[in-house]
Amino acid sequence: MIELGAAARKLWSLRPDASFLNHGSYGACPIAVLQVQQQLREQMEAHPDAFMARIEPDSPDHAVRDVADSLAGFIGTAGTQIALVENATTGAQTVLNSLPLGPGDQILVTDHQYNSVRLAAEERCRKTGATLVVAHIPLPTTGSEIVQRVLDAAGPGVKLALLDHITSPSALVFPVEQLVSELHRRDILVMLDGAHCMGQIPLGLDSLGADWYIANAHKWLYAPKGSALMYASGGVAPLTRPLVTSHFFAKGFPDAFDYVGTRDYTSWLSIPAALNFFRELGPERVWNHNFRLVLAGSDAMINAGAVPASPIELCAAMRAFILPQKRPAIRADAASLMALLWNRERIQIRCTTLGGNLLLRFCAQAYVGEQELQRLAEALQRHGWPNRA
């Protein structure tokens, strides 16, 4: 079994002269999984008709349904509750478009929401006359504060809550079990955006009880880009329709999502290979390795003057830090710090602003070694950051 950390890096094609501490944004697909995808592409181009026939939900081979079944056990649900979509952005818009909304209805989000999902919610509000309610979660924060802030905003008009399971800029694992049950008590439907979750943390979707759950396979599950899933519970599955109407639209959820026109389905079909890769590395082993990195990286970052955005209990394999400044952060601060760390240090990392804070988020991963996080902290000590307080 390969040692995790720097030794595992050769399983990926990431350029060798840099540190990649931003797995969360786009994922990184291992060489072995890309080879499987390449073989699938060769099969597709060798006999397009036979290949595409297998994608259709009526096919006796059920290629897409087989993928859903292979994922289902890993995330605690049944294959019939899962549709495949291209990415979390598509999944979130699918939910927004599926739910009838009108004037007087409200959609609840937080100010940590991923930007494209928030924009999609705003657009849906413009089209339907619904309004957006944004729960503000100040940083640093805690689990009980997150619950309080969300529930304070969950008034009687709220029909749908769109919540991140793990937030993007602030890397917070929301207390979703408690949030789902409290929101359901208020008759509010819940869509959890788990774009970062599948592969980063253990998942049990049926027991979690969200109405919809969106998860990327191309981030932490190591699948090729363009692979994600949408879970719909029995109650909302009949409402849930694909954004694209195609031949099997009338079949409803999930079959209507399987074939959505001629496109490259090889990312979806490579998901079982990604799952095998992850199982060979050992999910528990990867999660333990990542958490050890988060702990070691946190010590180094705190020594460099950074302030954790939350207690460690709200962290999985990523952690965000506030970089204290003399004035509220502006977007150019984040861009210039990312550029500096890349240009001067060859460190790829995500830096953003949220609520006037300059946030730096590092991601652990099977291919990241502890010394890379030490190097990050040393670089911050050496160069500082814009308007450092």
Ligand X SMILES: Cc1ncc(COP(=O)(O)O)c(C=O)c1O
Question: Which residues contact ligand X by CB under 6 A?
Answer: 25, 87-89, 114, 116-117, 164, 168, 193, 195-196, 216
Nearest C-alpha neighbor of 164 from the set 216, 128, 102: 216
CB of 226 to ligand X, least distance (A): 9
Residue 327 CB, shortest distance to ligand X, in Å, is: 27
Rounded alpha-carbon distances, angstroms, from residue 6 to 2, 87, 285, 369: 10, 29, 15, 5
CB-nearer residue toward ligand X: 172 or 379: 172
Q: Name which of 4 and 95 has its Cβ closer to ligand X.
A: 95
Residue whose CB is less far from ligand X, 300 or 364: 364
Smallest distance from ligand X to CB 89, Å: 3
Contact 14, 5 (CB under 8 A): no
Q: Which is nearer to ligand X, 223 or 377 (CB)?
A: 223
CB 111 within 8 A of CB 355: yes
**Cβ count near 115 (within 10 Å):** 11
Q: Which two tokens stand for residue 374?
A: 């030490």
Between CA 379 and CA 21 the distance in angstroms is 14
Least distance in angstroms from the C-beta of 10 to ligand X: 26
Select 95 or 377, whichever has its Cβ closest to ligand X.
Answer: 95
Picking from 316, 360, 361, the residue whose alpha carbon sits closest to that of residue 165 is 316
By beta-carbon proximity to ligand X, the closer residue of 44 and 109 is: 109
CB 377 within 8 A of CB 304: yes
Closer to ligand X at the Cβ: 90 or 325? Answer: 90
To which residue do tokens 């199982």 refer? Answer: 279
Q: Which is nearer to ligand X, 117 or 269 (CB)?
A: 117
Is 41 within 8 Å of 266 (Cβ atoms)?
yes
Quick one: which H or E segment has residue 321?
Answer: strand 318-322
User: Smallest distance, Å, CB 22 to ligand X?
Assistant: 10
Write down the residue that tokens 């992850």 correspond to: 278
Euclidean distance between CA atoms 124 and 129, whole angstroms: 8
Q: Which is nearer to ligand X, 92 or 275 (CB)?
A: 92
Query: What's the closest the beta carbon of residue 326 comes to ligand X, in angstroms?
Result: 29
Task: Output helix, strand, coil percentages for the chain, rounded to the nearest 5.
Answer: 45, 15, 40
- Tell me the CA distances in angstroms from 252 to 72, 173, 240, 241, 365, one per residue in order: 19, 32, 7, 7, 37
What's the closest the beta carbon of residue 61 comes to ligand X, in angstroms?
27
Q: For residues 374 and 232, what is the distance between their CA atoms, to the nearest angstrom? A: 42
Least spacing, CB of residue 216 vs ligand X, in Å: 5
Nearer to ligand X, 4 or 191 (CB): 191
Ranges of H-type helices in the chain = 23-26, 31-46, 48-53, 63-72, 88-98, 115-128, 143-153, 176-185, 205-208, 266-269, 271-281, 283-303, 331-345, 370-383
- Residue 248: how many CA atoms within 13 Å on its side-chain side? 18
Q: How far is the CB of 362 from ligand X (least distance, A)?
A: 15
Cβ at position 36, least distance to ligand X in Å: 20
